[in-house]
A and B are shown apart, each in its own frame.
Chain A
Amino acid sequence: GNSVTQMEGPVTLSEEAFLTINCTYTATGYPSLFWYVQYPGEGLQLLLKATKADDKGSNKGFEATYRKETTSFHLEKGSVQVSDSAVYFCALSFDDKIIFGKGTRLHILP
């Protein structure tokens, strides 16, 4: 079946550190891939997306590339800020449904 696996948190980094949150997926067909972010006390927000292989989604300094050969969609940011502290969800969509990973809590220290 379709599923999303992402690295478990919490991830704690110092400000300006490089961030990678791993995400791999299992899917039949060709899903679209997403990263969502949930800031403390708020709902989900779409961070970035990629709809086909080799697409790179980017937003707010975050990037992720749709890698079909490795079935991955790792989230990266070159220099994190305290304001990036949140829970990040990797997700895939197919047939009008979206499946989420378990989320990775990111904590950035000043």
Chain B
Amino acid sequence: SAVISQKPSRDICQRGTSLTIQCQVDSQVTMMFWYRQQPGQSLTLIATANQGSEATYESGFVIDKFPISRPNLTFSTLTVSNMSPEDSSIYLCSVESVAGVVGYTFGSGTRLTVV
């Protein structure tokens, strides 16, 4: 399976500021996924990021709030912009485990607290 390094692991941010979360994968992957896990809730897909094209956002998520970069096949960033306390969540990136194998690997998550 792919190994994902996600950072920062946690941060406390002031409202109105932005935070960029990074995900580095140890192998080339076509698609990377960004999820949000609000306190006590399940995971919700924010967007799918393909290298060389704009990310595809799910309903309720917009590029201005969650801009995503995907400069190459092993790296992606998610920015949480103009943060408010409602953005306090765990953010996770994910990739498909390996080509031809069904399943997904997740980063260890970024625990964001907005004060």
Contact = CB atoms under 8 A, between A and B. Distances in A.
Interface of A: 32, 34, 36, 42-46, 49, 51, 89, 93, 96-103
A46 B2 CA distance: 12
Contacts of B61: none
> For chain B, what secondary structure do more than half of its interface residues adopt (helix, strand, loop), or is it mixed?
strand
B60 interface: no
B56 to A, nearest CB: 10
Given A43-B108, A49-B102, 7 more contacts: A34-B104, A46-B1, A46-B104, A93-B104, A96-B96, A97-B48, A102-B41
11 contacts: A42-B109, A43-B106, A46-B1, A46-B103, A49-B102, A89-B43, A93-B102, A98-B45, A101-B42, A103-B41, A103-B42
Interface of B: 1, 6, 31, 33, 41-43, 45, 48, 92, 94, 96-97, 102-109
